[in-house]
Structure 1
């Protein structure tokens, strides 16, 4: 079994991979991000079982599987509370053949696993887009990006978007200041339209709602499904907002990852039931044979129709006694106030 390039990516750096069956997401990482995942996981394990799911930061992060050090060791140095079976872990450990000087690779459950026709949206939070390690050139460049985009005015910015091509290549109507053909393409993956980073950078405080409307409304899903999606994401953002008010962290260039299903047959099969937040599932398959589960009906029952995840922690840390991150909560508040009205 081998690893392949990520099948869908709305934003971020090149390099993320996935297992062939799509169940695991593997990306190059840095010690600070790995430490943040470890600390968050340790905090979650100390929480009482009666604490509602969604109140802990780890509930909003992708499920943490572990870390690999290709070229240094073939052993997984961390396993996340037994949530992933040994066979699945070995698939990544045995086949990760990437050249590098002892690079570290973060292994997460793939948030897109089981989706048939996903639309995805990456929103970067905060107006500060650099940390203390950035050189003067990057600091100046990132300040200009923030000042000239909704990162500065709203403390969030659309970093990238991939939507199902529901209208035979026809693009949404142009927005003030730019043409859709200049910020989008259909070359990323057949039957999908990709909106690059300049799409979000050209949106203003007055037009960002139209950009978000494209994500939720420019598809063939029935209006009642679109409305349900908007309502559910609105509630999720409020829940994450409340969660982050209780977390003493600082996250620079963290992102919100939105995904929803365009395949109406999956909505119908689930009677249009889309839970606000789904608890992790434990894989207790003890069989010896490797199997592909993408089309497994039993697995499909556990895959949600939409979800929201908090991602990208390369510049994240815990900051005891310093209160919550105002940049994060302000950006999320502005976002759910806009989404409520689209």
Structure 2
């Protein structure tokens, strides 16, 4: 069913970001994530969907592009129409310019919001790579990013915790807990509080929150699900040739223990479905009538401002080091969520 793009007053600052640049927007329902981007990122989304479907399965669902200008060719957003149409495409339309940090662009990608549909989404951004800068980076940026690598878990493990938010339960209070009951771990947590010897603690904090009803049993199941998807991402990247600098793994799961257990129980009663929720042999009419079940978890590769497909030069070992390191930690936690 077509969805009308929000009018300017209905676009708001995205509140759940745990890392990345400022200036991201969403619609008031939280279904769409509107992210300022470079032309190269748009090209990477389009080429991945067209030629690398195995990898595209783990990208955020790409719905199209927007122009971040108040006026273009004399049109306003109302005149542009701006309807989401079938097969995940949208016309190029206009939204208000939003001042952001670092990125100067009038283009944005429109993605399905990975955190939409959860009761209390827990979110973790894991920045991948040892080398974080692309070939065209300025010398100052190379020096700055190399310093981050040298001082953090990027150096030995190929990843860093860029940020996370973890729901602590109803009425939770305390240091770094926001008004909604989320404990916020900002970029400084991954840069200054973690090392190769204790970084597994961050994943424990992420998936195991007994005050929110996430006990050891549920945490192990979440870790197991995450491990399965990260292992699949590793397999896909090992079989393809690309270069991605400063890409991330984005983990989301249901942080309300009661809602998580209920969603898992409902999923166990539902008929088996194909990947991405496509039902085997169902008609378009049946698909439209089908009500999606409650969300449990998702894993996506995100942030493709410095990403390209590079046939002939082999897999991206720079990114793969981080993916393998994360997979190893998740495998350990899937056996014992309280592992030291």
Please list every run of 5 or more consecutive structure 1 residues that lacks an aligned counterpart in the other structure: 48-55, 172-180, 286-296
Structure 2 CA distance, aligned partners of 1:121 and 1:143?
23
1:137 to 128, 135, 140: 140
1:154 aligns with 2:151: no
1:249 counterpart residue number: 242
1:30 counterpart residue number: 38
1:294 counterpart residue number: none
Question: What RMSD in Å do the two structures reach over aligned CA positions?
Answer: 3.1
Q: Offset of 1:133 from its aligned partner?
A: 2.7
Structure 1 CA distance, aligned partners of 2:19 and 2:274?
23
Q: Offset of 1:93 from its aligned partner?
A: 4.0
1:201 to 191, 204, 216: 191
Q: Which moved more, 1:99-108 or 1:195-204?
A: 99-108
Total equivalences in the alignment: 300
Q: Contact conserved, 1:68 with 1:106, CA < 8 A, in 2?
A: yes
Q: Which moved more, 1:314-323 or 1:270-279?
A: 270-279
Superposed, which structure 2 residues align to 1:1-342 within 5 Å? 1=6, 2-44=10-52, 56-69=54-67, 70=69, 71-72=71-72, 82-84=86-88, 89=90, 93=93, 96-98=95-97, 103-166=106-169, 168-169=171-172, 185-187=176-178, 190-202=180-192, 203-219=194-210, 220-263=213-256, 264-265=258-259, 267-271=261-265, 273=267, 278-279=275-276, 299-301=291-293, 303-342=294-333
Q: Which moved more, 1:59-68 or 1:1-10?
A: 1-10
Structure 2 CA distance, aligned partners of 1:226 and 1:133?
41
Q: Offset of 1:167 from its aligned partner?
A: 7.6
Cα deviations by residue, 1:222-264 (Å, 9 ceiling, x for unpaired) = 3221111011111111111001111211000000000000232
Structure 2 CA distance, aligned partners of 1:159 and 1:131?
19
Q: Offset of 1:68 from its aligned partner?
A: 1.2
Q: Tell me the TM-score normalized by structure 1.
A: 0.79
Cα deviations by residue, 1:150-183 (Å, 9 ceiling, x for unpaired) = 0111001100000002385466xxxxxxxxx5xx
Structure 2 CA distance, aligned partners of 1:304 and 1:281?
15
Please list every run of 5 or more consecutive structure 2 residues that lacks an aligned counterpart in the other structure: 1-5, 334-340
Q: Could you say if the C-alpha distance between residues 215 and 60 of structure 1 is closer, same or farther in structure 2, counting changes exceeding 3 Å?
A: same
Q: Tell me the TM-score normalized by structure 2.
A: 0.79
Q: Contact conserved, 1:66 with 1:78, CA < 8 A, in 2?
A: no
Q: Could you say if the C-alpha distance between residues 135 and 269 of structure 1 is closer, same or farther in structure 2, counting changes exceeding 3 Å?
A: closer
Structure 1 CA distance, aligned partners of 2:263 and 2:133?
45
Structure 2 CA distance, aligned partners of 1:110 and 1:163?
18
Cα deviations by residue, 1:35-67 (Å, 9 ceiling, x for unpaired) = 1011111115xx6xxxxxxxx000000011001
Q: Could you say if the C-alpha distance between residues 246 and 79 of structure 1 is closer, same or farther in structure 2, counting changes exceeding 3 Å?
A: farther
Q: Could you say if the C-alpha distance between residues 102 and 281 of structure 1 is closer, same or farther in structure 2, counting changes exceeding 3 Å?
A: farther
Q: Offset of 1:102 from its aligned partner?
A: 7.0
Structure 1 stretches (4+) deviating beyond 3 angstroms? 73-80, 99-102, 167-171, 272-278, 297-300
Helix, strand or coil for the counterpart of 1:324?
Answer: coil
Structure 1 CA distance, aligned partners of 2:247 and 2:209?
26
Helix, strand or coil for the counterpart of 2:322?
Answer: helix
1:175 counterpart residue number: none
